[in-house]
Amino acid sequence: MVERPDILVAALSARALAAAARRAGRRPASIDLFADLDTRQLAEPCLRLPAEGLRLESAPLRKALARAELRGLPLVYGAGFEDDPALLARLAEDRPLMGNRPEVVARVKDPFRLAAILHRLGISHPPVAPTWDGSPGDYLSKRIGASGGTHITPATGGKAKPGWYLQHRVAGHAVSVLFLADGDRAVIVGLSRQWTAPTAASPYRYGGAAGPWRCPERWTRTLPAMVSRLAVAFELVGLNSADFLVTGSDLHLLEINPRPGATLDVFDHPPMLPLLGLHVDACSRRLPDRLPALSWCRAAAVLYADAPTRIEAGERWPAWTADRPAAPTLIGRDEPVCTVFGEGPSATAARRHAERRQRELAACAAMEMQ
């Protein structure tokens, strides 16, 4: 007998959420754009939506949600909803929403409202603008509510397109802070170092993350206080992340992601308590005072196809991979193939381990294509 699901996870890719739900003792159903092999093993039903430019389309999503076994199920949402908070509001009409309210998402993902609130809080933030008035290379063009970095390019025109904005370019290395919030305060889960996997067309494409990254001593007090101020100012609940650029001793907040994200794979393992359970509790205003520290580091890196790659039925995937595509399928050049995990005593060592495995897997794929 198939057990009825007790929670629904939905995102562009829902595998990490489904895995987190299983670790928390839940029975997830999932909706995403891929229905990867491992997502199918974790979630029942596991529904795949048509992918139009890697965006969640309202009509097919709402049709999927109308299935009898999914009606009224609590919804945990991941990446893919920030560009359409109105869609989230419609979904919340007939089911509990385990995450930030649609109006909170709208406020956080409006780049100009975000910048104004951060200015009031005294938190450094690269200036944003609707028009380009600097020298070449001064600004980046970004799509409002987008994720994954493929949309970010150097600004080349005088005015942002509708639905886009310009942000002043700041040099530095990327650090993401995963935290739990209950609207009144926040508790940091961990910091991760992030990197890009650039192409000529997408110089800021997301490459991966590794953590926990040890917080420098100069931020051990200021960073938790800053994150709690963000939680209060935006009324954030559940799991969220704040992405920073680090320049010397300065932190520049780039954006807030008001939902669980890619670093679930980095932090959701013992001795950390199940993060999806903590997320649901925090959405109900139950927040722990502190969380266990992770001493061993993990990396999650995206392997992209260097050339068109055909995945055949019966493909054997290493245990250190995730987001394994259902076969047979053809993956286009520069499209994601899977996620590769690495481990180590430091975030740097874990990243290097994942990258060695990426090269190993890519070499095997290249040999099979010959």
| Digit-coded pLDDT (tens) for 92-129 | 999 999 999 999 999 999 999 999 999 999 999 999 98
The better pLDDT of the pair 150, 12 is held by 12
Residue 355 has pLDDT above 70, yes or no: yes
pLDDT at 370: 45
Q: Confidence band (pLDDT; 50, 70, 90) for 1?
A: very low
pLDDT at 95: 95
Residue 287 has pLDDT above 60, yes or no: yes
Per cent of the chain over pLDDT 90 is 77
- Listed range (10-14, 86-90, 160-164, 296-300) with the worst mean pLDDT: 160-164
pLDDT at 158: 75
Q: Kind and range of the H or E element at 56?
A: none
- Among residues 86, 103, 84, 92, which one has the least CA distance to residue 12? 84
Q: Confidence band (pLDDT; 50, 70, 90) for 259?
A: very high
Which sign does the torsion angle of CA 215, 220, 226, 228 carry? positive
Residue 250 has pLDDT above 70, yes or no: yes
Q: Report, as an integer, the average pLDDT of 225-248.
A: 96
Rank 11-25, 140-154, 303-317 by mean pLDDT and report only the highest: 11-25
pLDDT at 136: 64
Q: Confidence band (pLDDT; 50, 70, 90) for 2?
A: low
3 state SS of 342: strand
pLDDT at 249: 85
Q: Kind and range of the H or E element at 209?
A: strand 206-211
Strands 297-304, 336-344: pairing kind: antiparallel
- Among residues 265, 346, 347, 302, which one has the least CA distance to residue 16? 265
Alpha-carbon dihedral 37, 39, 45, 46, rounded to 10 degrees: -80
Give the Cα separation of 138 and 39 in Å (integer).
Answer: 41
Residue type, 146: A
pLDDT at 161: 84
3 state SS of 164: strand
3 state SS of 289: coil
pLDDT at 100: 98
Contact 144, 109 (CB under 8 A): yes
3 state SS of 22: helix
Q: Confidence band (pLDDT; 50, 70, 90) for 156?
A: confident
pLDDT digits (tens, 9 = 90+) for 178-200: 999 999 999 999 999 999 999 99
Is the pTM value of this prediction over 0.75? yes
Q: Confidence band (pLDDT; 50, 70, 90) for 217?
A: confident
- Listed range (62-71, 214-223, 248-257) with the worst mean pLDDT: 214-223
pLDDT at 120: 96
Residue 365 has pLDDT above 70, yes or no: no
Q: Kind and range of the H or E element at 367?
A: helix 347-369
Q: Report, as an integer, the average pLDDT of 261-290.
A: 96
pLDDT digits (tens, 9 = 90+) for 260-269: 988 999 999 9
Give the Cα separation of 315 and 327 in Å (integer).
Answer: 8
Residue 349 has pLDDT above 60, yes or no: yes
